Structure formats: C-alpha cells, structure tokens
Structure 1
Amino acid sequence: MPKHTTGLAAGLALLVTALLAGPVQAADSAGTQRVLPGLKPDLVAHYDFGHPVPGAPAEEQDQGFSGTDIQLVGGGPAMRVPDAAHPGAGNALQTAQINPGAAGNDDWKAGLYAPGGVPTLNAFNAAKGTTVMGWFKMTGDNPAPDSNTPDPDDRYGAIGLTGVLAGNSDGHGVRALLELIEVEGELRVVALGRRLDDGASQTFAAAADWRSVLPQDEWVHLAATFDYSDGSMALFRNGERLDGFYATPGDPWEVEGPGDHRASPTDPAGIKIGGSFPQNTRERNPCNCRMDDLMFLDRAVSAAEVRQQHRMMTSQQP
C-alpha cells in the first residue's frame, strides 16, 4: 500500500496533500482498508480491481506487500465491471469463456507467469503454509464447454477460481488453489495443494453440492488454507468452515517423517485467476464468473481470522 510521509520536514503542502489523498483512496475501494491488522504482515498479494497500473489499464496493481502486479488477459480494462461484492467495494473482475466452439486464446482470465519463478512472490518460497481467499460470483454457464475437443457436448472437468502456481509450473500446476473439480464422480469446491514442486498433490473437497456453496448470481466469500508443516487443509464459506474430506489417502505431501516441513524452496511461477495458463498459451478450465478482493497469504490463517476478515468486509462501516 502507498505510504505518505507527513513529518514537519515535509512541509505543510505535503501534509495537506497526504490528508486529501487518504479519502480518495478509500473511496476508490474500501476493500483495501478492510484487512485485519494481523493479516497485513502476511498479505503477499491482494487485488481489488480498483487500481489499474498507471499507463497500463490492462494491468492491476497489487495492494499487498510484494508489489506483484497482474495482467487482465483477453479483455483488458473491460474486465473491470461495477459490481460490489461487499459493502463499500467497487469494481469486480469479470472472467469468461469467449468462444466455446474454437480452440484459441481469447478467454478472459488474469494473473502472471514467469518460467523459473516470480521473484516478488519469494515469500512463498519454502513457506510453512498458504492461504487463498476472495469473493466469487457465478455469472454464466459453468463448467464451460471444452474448447480443446471436437465434441461440442464435452465440458471441462474443472472450473478455475484462483491460486498460486508451483515453482516448476507450466501455467497449470499449482502450490495452492481454490477451484471446482470432479472428486468421486461429482463436481466439488476444493482446496488443492502441493507442498513439493515434484511431489504429489492433495485435495480437500467440500461435502456440500457445489451449487449450494456457489449459487448462481450470488457473491460468496471463499477461503482455503494449506498447512505444509502437518499436511492439513481447510475450506471456508462466508467465514464458516465447510465440512469436507481428503481425496487422496496416505501422505501425499510427505510430512509424516521428522523434520521441518515446508513448501519447495522455489519462487512460484505466478498466479492464475479464472482459468489456467495466465501466459495465454492455451485455454483450460475457464470460469464464467466475477471475483473481487483476492488475497494470497504466506501462512495458513486460523478459522477465527477467516471469520473476522469476512465480518470486517461485510460490515457497514468503511
């Protein structure tokens, strides 16, 4: 977040400028002012879609501490739409499948990608945990038709929400992800994580029908926590823990032995939002939906913190 210096040495003019700048920023997006103080030191990246990069409206400024700006892929600034996810919020991000009948690269999604890792995301390097949270609203046909197959009746087996890529990712593989995928033959809201870049993933799936977790045209706050030290994961909806189950038996994260268990000592290859491959090389798992206040933290936050964060954002006070 920008910081203003208002000391005496700065002079009265700078003091007045700083005082005037505060309300303007709060009015632009109150969501950036509604972060629990205890979460701010761990808030690696935060996107409220009310802060275009100056001179580059197809990019969004990071409101977390890392300064990791992202690209609005496919639709550019048109992807910012006026739809308040919570009281005081402003624009939301619209993601969408544009041409279901053609294998192309025109889907609306967001994120960034760098083979070998994004240096500003170094806080996730060897992290003990991760949290991914945000507001989501289903606005169209989901899961979308699979544009990579010739059969017009084929549908993708997943709906991409958002997550942090693994260090060796090609734009699809993740370290921590919120999405909907098929588990035990049913589409479910899941937290999907991978501790080691070359290791196996684990999935924690919500027991409830996904349409009750994410009803059409309704804003919902979701959070997923990943504790790499003990292999535990959790899902939350509107501040409350969701009942669920682990999809993979055993110890896929290899945490049962002795030692200090952390994520791989690599910088993530980026962040994906609304589908895979933020470098726009192919399409997979698009989400016809809106998103806002996407937050990525470098620890597994507690259930109480998720609840408090949700309550802070839904309060009527700015």
Structure 2
Amino acid sequence: MRAAVLGLVALFGVGLAAPAQATFGPVLPSLTRNLVSYYDFEHPVRGDNALEQDRGRSGTPLQLINGGAGMRVRDGAFSRNALQLGQINPATAGNDDWKAGLYSETGVPTLKAFNGARQTSIMGWVKMSGQNPAPNSNTPDPDDLYGAIGLAGVLTGDSNGHAVRALLELIQVDGELKLVALARRLDGGDSQTFAATEQWQKLLPQNEWVFLAATFDFDTGAMALYRDGKPLEGRYVAAGDPWKLEGDPEPDLASATDPRGYKIGGSYPQNTRENNPCTCRMDGLMFLDRAVHPWEVTLQHRWASRTR
C-alpha cells in the first residue's frame, strides 16, 4: 500500500493522476485501514436524520445536537453538504448551541481503537461562518467572550464532556488565541499543547474552507499541526514532562480506557452545558488511530480539493 501511494505522490507532483475513491469515501487509500471514524454529512442514519453515519471502520453514529437534520447545509468543502455549528442564544445560559458528538459515562466500545493508543490524528475541513470566539453565555457580562473555540476532539476515558485525549481547537496561549493541537496521554493527567505561531485569523479567515490536521504520538511526545496540507510552525506550551513519558515502560501509550465519546463544535456532547461554541461549518471529519505522515496530509488535502 505504501509503495502504491508513494507512486501517487509522484503523479500528483506532475498533475497526472489522483487516488481512487476509497471504500470510506474520498479518503487516501493509505489512511483507510486506520480510519476509526469518518463523517461527510451526506449519510443520515436511516430512520433518524439527527444522526450521521460513520463511514469509518468503527461505525459510530454521530449525534447532531440541538439542530438535528437542519444542521446539514448545502455548502460542502468538497461535496454537497456540510455541518453547521454555532451559538443560538448568546444571552441565555441554556443548552441550545448547535454542536455534534456523543457521550457515554461508561465509555464508547466502538471507539476502542483509542484505548491504549500509541498515536492518533484528527483531520477535517473548517469554515468560519460567524462571530468567533462567541459571547460567554455562562456569565452575566454581555462583553465576556469564551476563551476558546471548539473544533473536534476525542474525549478521555474519564471525561466530564470537556477533558480530551486528543483535540484540535483554538485556545488562549499566553493571553492570545491560537490554533492548537492538545492532548493528554493519561486520564486525569496533564495535557500538552502545540500552538501554531501564525495568527489564527490568517489560518482560518472568515467564509473560507480550510483543511486542518493534528497528529499526536503518545510514545515520543511529538505533535504537529497542518493547514491545507502544509505543516505549521509552532511551539510546545507546557514545560517539563506533562505526559509522564520518562521512566514508564516502553512504548508509552494512552490510558487503557475507551473514550467517553467525541466532541465537535464545543464541549459537553451530553448537552448539559454550553462551552466554547464554534460558529462555523465542518466537513470530512476524520479520526485515525495513528499519526498521519506529512505526505499523507498533503495528498489527502489535494485529493479532496480536486473534487471541489
């Protein structure tokens, strides 16, 4: 498989060919084996349009929370539909934000690929479509804004709906909002953050589809961010050894627990609290159980872009 796809790298370079459409949709063939979940928002679950089929190997349906089928809009990054997310009533501390995900206090067995995982990746298309960051509906101050913009993450095995094993998000770093990859190797442990250097507004301009990717290696401690197939410059935020890699038996793995779910476009997919909404659209969300190679990120972006 690797040799075949490397051949496609050369073909892409001279514009002669593109990868064939994979079983799971317009996905690079080398990624399909590790594609735990893939959501293209073209496949509602039969009998419940508020659920989206998982085109990845885990078959984990995604809940379209609060907006249901109306969250699918005709504005796909590379296909017909995209997922609309966002804040609904900024002045009310309610639970009506449009977000997506799933949650189980006992863990989600279909996401066992992230149980004791050595690596993971999150990739997908994002289009900012409104005010970000959003007004903080949990405080009385109308001028108070959330300190983060939620994109997509895998929850930990002990998560309350906010804590993550791996996350692509925008958060405050030294008083400035930054695009980040954030993860914690151990449930209840400290997180590490890799923050992009460039201003987030340049990376995610309003009303423009952008392909983002984040990769995580729990064994080496390496993380990376990509925009439109190209790696982003950045830095690790936490000093020391937040993932407790030193002294542990090799290889270092994530906690041996099933994640409690996914969160997309904000925290608390069990819909008990509003937090860090993203007024944006998403498409082609991919969750993988290995760190994707840089050349694969490049090819995945190019392949999807050719179908736009």
Q: Same fold (TM over 0.5)?
A: yes
Report how far residue 316 of structure 1 moved. Answer: 4.2
Task: Check 1:106–1:31 CA distance in 2 against 1; reply closer, same or farther (3 A cut).
Answer: farther
- TM-score normalised per structure 1: 0.88
Pair 1:77 & 2:104 matched: no
- TM-score normalised per structure 2: 0.91
Report how far residue 33 of structure 1 moved. Answer: 2.7
Partner of residue 57 from structure 1, selected from 49, 53, 64: 49
Report how far residue 84 of structure 1 moved. Answer: 2.3
- Once residues 78 and 130 of structure 1 are traced to their aligned partners in structure 2, the CA distance between those partners, rounded to angstroms, is 31
Structure 2 equivalent of residue 277 of structure 1? 268
| AA of the residue aligned to 2:279 | N
Partner of residue 213 from structure 2, selected from 210, 214, 223: 223
Residue correspondences, number: 287
Name the SS for the 2:58 alignment partner: coil
Structure 2 equivalent of residue 118 of structure 1? 108
- Once residues 32 and 267 of structure 1 are traced to their aligned partners in structure 2, the CA distance between those partners, rounded to angstroms, is 23
Partner of residue 94 from structure 1, selected from 84, 87, 109: 84
Partner of residue 290 from structure 2, selected from 299, 302, 305: 299
- Once residues 316 and 173 of structure 1 are traced to their aligned partners in structure 2, the CA distance between those partners, rounded to angstroms, is 35
The answer on whether the counterparts of 1:31 and 1:313 sit within 8 Å (CA) in structure 2 is no
Structure 1 equivalent of residue 188 of structure 2? 198
The answer on whether the counterparts of 1:32 and 1:48 sit within 8 Å (CA) in structure 2 is no
- Once residues 245 and 31 of structure 1 are traced to their aligned partners in structure 2, the CA distance between those partners, rounded to angstroms, is 36
Report how far residue 30 of structure 1 moved. Answer: 9.7
Task: Check 1:93–1:30 CA distance in 2 against 1; reply closer, same or farther (3 A cut).
Answer: farther
Structure 2 equivalent of residue 47 of structure 1? 39
Structure 2: 5+ residue runs without aligned partners? 1-20
The answer on whether the counterparts of 1:127 and 1:262 sit within 8 Å (CA) in structure 2 is yes
Q: Provide the aligned C-alpha RMSD in A.
A: 1.4
Name the SS for the 2:254 alignment partner: coil
Structure 2 equivalent of residue 315 of structure 1? 306
Report how far residue 32 of structure 1 moved. Answer: 4.8
The answer on whether the counterparts of 1:31 and 1:48 sit within 8 Å (CA) in structure 2 is no
The answer on whether the counterparts of 2:22 and 2:32 sit within 8 Å (CA) in structure 1 is no
The answer on whether the counterparts of 2:22 and 2:28 sit within 8 Å (CA) in structure 1 is no
1:163-242 aligned at under 5 Å gives the runs 163-242=153-232
Deviating beyond 4 angstroms after TM superposition, the runs of 4 or more aligned structure 1 residues are 29-32
| AA of the residue aligned to 2:178 | R
